[in-house]
Amino acid sequence: MRKITPLVYLALIASGFVSSCAGRNVHSDITEKETTLLERKWTLMSREDVASDGERGSEHSNSVWFENTLVYGVGEKGLTSLYVGNHEVRWELPILHGVQSQILLDRSTVYFGGGDGFLYSVNAETGRVNWRYSLHNPIISKPAIKSGRLFITASDDSIYAFDAGTGKWLWHYRRRAASSATILGASQPLVDGNEVIAGLSDGYIVSLGVDDGALKWEKKLHDGKKFTDVDAHPVIDEGVLYVPSYDGTLNALRRANHESIWKMDSGASHAVVVEGANLFYPSSDGTIYSLAKTTGKVNWKFDLDNGIPTELAVTETYVFVGSSYRYFYMLDKSSGVLLGRYDAGYGSGFNSSPVWDTERKRVYVLSGGGNLYAFQVATLTPKRLK
């Protein structure tokens, strides 16, 4: 095992579709000394060289827990398994053009898409490749697995099914690519009963047969704005399907007949998080919402300073979210009050989803520049930052 050298200079990044050079600076009155509930413990560099001014990176993969290690992917190297207690590397798997998709952990196997166009199955204990399959297309969605079958959406709106154990191709559904401009992203399929449900870049959500990939039904969600993409993972809870389009609406649909129950005029590229009677929602307009899941009524909202939010990490007490602009935030779950904010530096930001460490009370997140951050939640009485 070897040690990773701590980062001494933060790389500059920006979202591919949101400028980091200007922002609303909503919380300009907050100084970093006031955000004492969120403390940066360490930062580890995953790139060989440090980005210079004006060079922008973009990391969209995530981290997953396996035993006592954090497994994460970066675009320059590949996949790494890290002991977070002492920063020692358990194993590394080099991949040409790195890891582009989010990672799925199932038991002792991680599945993901590589920048080389292959879909990978890797042993999480050893880092050895179980199998890989060439799709000849970038794979930027998170895989889904159920009953021994693996499902993935490729960048050309093709949805594939494989035998998860062997990598054998089972079927694929091919959709004509959207004619309008689209954003970087693809929907993680949702497997529910005998249906595979996924969003596509042409503004539709489709349902396919688990066994053969035959189209069962489709529904248009996009409402005519600039980007048609439906890239978020559909979420089902108590017979209701929640799915947003990127710059359109958040839709609550009846699972039985996919008819609309309610809509919210705010789109997103990331999924809602369902907690009890509420939804937590990172909208693409830069606002984090808590909503009543039955009506869509807003409980509270929090505006980012600028940029697009990452996926949310929601715990019993907190909501963690990064921004493609420059900040990482910790919010009070019940009220949306800002409890902590970390400034990653002008031009820096986050695209990867945070992951919560219950044992250590820490949250880990990969920056767009490929730097892994560990933030400690202080054991202080929460108070509103003024």
Block residue for tokens 């080099």: 94
DSSP 191-229: EETTEEEEE-TTSEEEEEETTT--EEEEEE---SSS---
Distance CA 314, CA 240 (A): 20
The answer to whether residue 364 scores a pLDDT higher than 70 is yes
How does pLDDT run across 223-265, given as a tens digit for each residue? 666 777 888 899 999 999 999 988 789 999 999 999 999 999 9
Angle at alpha carbon of residue 353, lines to 318 and 347, rounded to 5°: 100
Of the pLDDT bands very low, low, confident and very high (cuts 50, 70, 90), residue 345 is confident
Average pLDDT (261-284) is 94
Of 89-98, 303-312, 363-372, the one with minimum mean pLDDT is 363-372
The residue that leads in pLDDT, 362 or 229, is 362
Q: What's the half-sphere exposure (Cβ side, CA atoms, 13 Å) at 365?
A: 28
pTM: 0.87
pLDDT of residue 5: 35
Average pLDDT (342-350) is 84
pLDDT of residue 179: 54
Maximum CA extent, the chain: 57
Of the pLDDT bands very low, low, confident and very high (cuts 50, 70, 90), residue 18 is very low
The pair of three-digit structure tokens given for residue 131, joined into one six-digit string: 């199998």
The answer to whether residue 4 scores a pLDDT higher than 60 is no
Q: Which residue type does 292 have?
A: A
How does pLDDT run across 19-77, given as a tens digit for each residue? 333 345 566 656 554 456 899 999 987 765 544 433 445 777 889 999 989 999 988 78
The residue that leads in pLDDT, 47 or 281, is 281
Distance CA 104, CA 101 (A): 9
pLDDT of residue 52: 41
pLDDT of residue 60: 76
DSSP 8-45: SSPPPB--SSS-SS----TTTT--GGG-TTEEEEEEEE
Average pLDDT (319-339) is 95
The pair of three-digit structure tokens given for residue 96, joined into one six-digit string: 């040409």
Distance CA 343, CA 203 (A): 35
pLDDT of residue 31: 57
Average pLDDT (69-91) is 91
Distance CA 322, CA 348 (A): 11
Distance CA 176, CA 202 (A): 8
Mean pLDDT (the chain) is 84
pLDDT of residue 17: 35
The pair of three-digit structure tokens given for residue 162, joined into one six-digit string: 């494989």
Q: What percent of the chain has pLDDT over 90?
A: 58
